[in-house]
Amino acid sequence: MGARRSVFVTRPLPGGALERLQAEHEVEVWPGRLPPPREELMARAPSLEGLLSLLTDRVDAELIEAAPRLRAISNYAVGVDNVDVDAAVARGIPVGNTPDVLTESTADLALALMLGIARRLAEGEAFVRAGEWRTWEPGLMLGHDLHGATVGIVGFGRIGQAVGRRLEGFGCELVTTSRSGGVPLEELLERSDFVTVHCPLTPDTRGLIGAEALRRMKPTAYLVNTARGPIVDTDALTRALHSAEIAGAALDVTDPEPLPGDHPLLQAPNLLVLPHVGSATHDTRGRMADIAVDNLLAGLAGEPMPHQVTPRAP
């Protein structure tokens, strides 16, 4: 067994993966439900050798520079947009992620959001709990069908394709756009009854669904986002919902995230918002923890990470 390293994990993780990490290294786990404050991360930086971070942790150039002993960063997520990957590469620090494992669970949730917003599930449940349901009415809680609808998939990678497979069972017509092909985004927006977002967050996709894109959508169409919050312009979406430019939106991710309880978006009509739970099943979150720990163990041992987003050493 190699040297025991100082490791900080920014949140408790499901499953038993952290026990494997603790067996080999000196591990401190931040105990709270909320992310460790910035000053806590910076205070640990000088002695930090391994970091297991979440999307809510800003691992920027300042933090990396303040951690001269840092040998490996493992991010408990598919995306690494919270990590300054260039700064890590400049220091020769490998960065790992947890791809593939959450594909199917996130695709399941995307369909749940489509059905939830189109069939007004949250609204109906609140109606019953408020004691307002007096009798069956022909016009009560009318929504829209998913089956037979035209669904536009923005980003046709692993998750987008998994969503497409599910929608085939609903008899949907699929319209896709991605870096590797499909139709232009403008055409997808104009044709679709549902627009579901599955592209990564990059400088090119930040604000991709803004005021102009929302105006191109049908007034009867729904927007679903399970990718990253900043892909959708929050202010533009708020205005579009208030003015009925689109029929509704269902979001698992937001910008900012988390949304404050008094955020203007939450006052918009025909909105369903979840607290970023796309991968939140026992099996998926446990497998994510296993992958994140495997990445960190390899990086601390000077070996290639099983899932490494930075270039591997020659």
Average pLDDT of the residues in 56-81? 96
Q: Residues 261, 142: one domain?
A: yes
pLDDT of residue 314: 64
pLDDT of residue 1: 55
pLDDT of residue 312: 84
Mark whether 33 is an active-site residue. no
pLDDT of residue 3: 86
Q: Phi, psi (5° rounding) for residue 33? A: -75, -30
CATH number at residue 268: 3.40.50.720
The answer to the question of residue 308 being in a domain is no
pLDDT of residue 2: 73
The answer to the question of residue 1 being in a domain is no
pLDDT in tens, 137-151: 999 999 999 999 999
Q: Which of 40, 62, 123, 257 is catalytic?
A: 257
Mark whether 187 is an active-site residue. no
Average pLDDT of the residues in 28-52? 96
pLDDT in tens, 158-176: 999 999 999 999 999 999 9
Average pLDDT of the residues in 259-281? 96
The answer to the question of residue 223 being in a domain is yes
pLDDT-based confidence at residue 180 (cuts at 50, 70, 90): confident
Give the position of tokens 């609808």: 149
Percent of the chain residues past pLDDT 90, beyond the cut:
95
Q: Which of 276, 285, 287, 307 is catalytic?
A: 276
Mark whether 257 is an active-site residue. yes
Q: Which of 228, 285, 287, 307 is catalytic?
A: 228
The answer to the question of residue 257 being in a domain is yes
